[in-house]
């Protein structure tokens, strides 16, 4: 007779502001270390106290984290400093966090208690993305976010210098770096499951830029229309054609991972064509094509990208009753521009000081 294996319960916590594929990848790695993943999310009040104003409200952040496929449970209003009492309250064996340092307003490591007790594990942080980075892209509102390196640094330096700020404080944890997409990253995020015989297949398409609660609510409703949800993601040039300005904020590879992390999504078409053709529908055996309440902007050569599914009687307009859009999200940042710029600069300087202390300590250990 074999004994039942003890369930390993894992705890993660954080702000999860503007939830992106970096957050999702951290939670994916954390779930792989155990059987059941509980995620604590901090309140707006706590985040404002220790970091500065969050972009999303706590209710929006709770919903976004619940939408990540590897999350089993969300704890609302989790304390900013992770304690042993918190781990014990939720019967968690250990806490998991990325290999960067998170500090309180007083500069204290928020995980020092669980680290000292040996109930802390680290996973590798996803390079090339952070909330600080994404906020910075929106503040710049320039095509430079596709051109990393010296040119982008110069733009940031000049922008900050004009406000009397020192932009040299570039954190190694949340500063911009090149995101390098690989097939392995996509495999890690993908379920790899094909539709089962008899499954009703739903298809939606769009930019899904800066994946937010509006996208999440729409995808939840689209998934409810069938059994298998395929999301077509348009290329950067196509998105720029119909969105204009400096969109998309996130490039195609980043948007792919953000959408794949959503628990309602079964498969993603990378670089989907703008018009939904009969050939595309036949290829994926699509039963119904859905679109939300955002306007469909015609581009050169394509008046209505949904003309064919409409002709076939396989089109449905959905209303998720969530009015959030990528443009409204950018507006939030712009309206509070100075607050977010100050927050980013303060956070980077604090992290830079911590990183220098960390590397110095490591160097002394090796001597």
Dump pLDDT digits (tens) for 229-284: 999 999 999 999 999 878 898 889 889 999 999 999 999 999 999 999 999 999 99
- Do residue 273 and residue 202 come from a single domain? yes
- Do residue 231 and residue 310 come from a single domain? yes
**What is the predicted pLDDT for the residue at 127?**
56
Rounded to 10 degrees, what is the CA torsion of 92, 96, 102, 103? 30
Give a yes or no: residue 361 inside a domain.
yes
- Do residue 313 and residue 191 come from a single domain? yes
- Do residue 141 and residue 203 come from a single domain? no
- Do residue 202 and residue 296 come from a single domain? yes
**What is the predicted pLDDT for the residue at 50?**
86
Give a yes or no: residue 300 inside a domain.
yes
**What is the predicted pLDDT for the residue at 105?**
79
**What is the predicted pLDDT for the residue at 100?**
75
Q: How many CB atoms lie within 10 A of CB 284?
A: 16
- Do residue 303 and residue 343 come from a single domain? no
- Do residue 212 and residue 268 come from a single domain? yes
Domain count, the chain: 3
Identify the CATH number of the domain in which residue 253 sits: 3.40.50.620
The tokens of 69 are what? 């496929």
- Do residue 215 and residue 229 come from a single domain? yes
Residue after which a domain boundary falls, among 99, 123, 147: 123
Contacts 24+ apart (CB under 8 A), 84-89: 84/113, 84/114, 84/117, 84/119, 86/11, 86/13, 86/40, 87/11, 87/114, 87/119
Give a yes or no: residue 15 inside a domain.
yes
Give a yes or no: residue 1 inside a domain.
no
Domain that holds residue 165: 131-178+339-366
CA separation for the pair 362, 163 (Å, rounded): 36
Residue-wise pLDDT tens for the chain (367 aa)? 455 789 999 999 999 988 888 899 999 999 999 999 999 999 999 998 888 888 899 999 999 999 999 999 999 999 999 999 999 999 999 999 988 778 887 888 999 999 999 999 999 876 555 656 655 665 565 434 443 333 333 333 333 333 333 333 344 433 333 556 788 888 889 988 999 999 999 999 999 999 999 999 999 999 999 999 999 999 999 999 999 878 898 889 889 999 999 999 999 999 999 999 999 999 999 999 999 999 888 888 889 999 999 999 999 999 999 999 998 988 887 776 666 566 556 656 665 665 566 566 666 666 6
**What is the predicted pLDDT for the residue at 153?**
32
- Do residue 285 and residue 198 come from a single domain? yes
- Do residue 264 and residue 149 come from a single domain? no
Give a yes or no: residue 24 inside a domain.
yes
Give a yes or no: residue 218 inside a domain.
yes
**What is the predicted pLDDT for the residue at 186?**
87
- Do residue 39 and residue 142 come from a single domain? no
Give a yes or no: residue 231 inside a domain.
yes
- Do residue 157 and residue 268 come from a single domain? no
Residue after which a domain boundary falls, among 107, 123, 139: 123
């Amino acid at each position: 007779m074999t004994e039942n294996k003890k369930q390993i319960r894992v705890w993660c916590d954080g702000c999860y502001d503007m939830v992106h594929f970096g957050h999702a990848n951290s939670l994916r790695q954390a779930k792989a270390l155990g059987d059941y993943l509980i995620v604590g999310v901090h309140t707006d009040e706590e985040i404002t106290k220790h970091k500065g104003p969050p972009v999303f409200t706590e209710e929006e952040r709770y919903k976004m984290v619940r939408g990540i496929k590897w999350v089993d449970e969300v704890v609302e209003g989790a304390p900013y400093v992770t304690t042993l009492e918190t781990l014990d309250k939720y019967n968690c064996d250990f806490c998991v966090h990325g290999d960067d340092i998170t500090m309180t307003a007083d500069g204290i490591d928020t995980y020092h208690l669980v680290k000292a007790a040996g109930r802390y594990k680290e996973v590798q942080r996803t390079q090339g993305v952070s909330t600080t980075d994404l906020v910075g892209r929106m503040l710049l509102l320039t095509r430079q976010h596709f051109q990393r390196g010296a040119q982008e640094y110069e733009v940031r330096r000049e922008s900050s210098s004009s406000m009397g700020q020192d932009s040299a404080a570039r954190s190694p944890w949340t500063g911009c770096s090149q995101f390098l997409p690989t097939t392995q990253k996509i495999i890690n995020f993908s379920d790899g499951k094909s539709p089962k015989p008899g499954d009703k297949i739903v298809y939606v398409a769009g930019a899904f830029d800066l994946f937010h609660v509006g996208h999440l609510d729409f995808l939840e409703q689209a998934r409810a229309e069938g059994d298998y949800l395929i999301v077509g993601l348009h290329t950067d040039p196509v998105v720029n054609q119909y969105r204009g300005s400096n969109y998309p904020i996130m490039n195609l590879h980043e948007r792919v991972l953000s959408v794949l992390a959503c628990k309602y999504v079964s498969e993603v078409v990378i670089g989907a064509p703008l018009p939904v053709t009969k050939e595309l529908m036949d290829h994926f055996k699509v039963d119904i094509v859905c679109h939300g309440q955002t306007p469909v902007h015609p581009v050169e050569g394509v008046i209505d990208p949904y003309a064919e599914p409409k002709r076939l009687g396989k089109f449905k307009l959905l209303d998720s009753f969530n009015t959030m859009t990528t443009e409204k999200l950018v507006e939030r940042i712009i309206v509070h521009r100075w607050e977010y710029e100050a927050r980013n600069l303060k956070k980077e300087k604090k992290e830079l000081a911590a990183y220098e202390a960390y590397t110095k300590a490591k160097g002394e250990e090796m001597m």
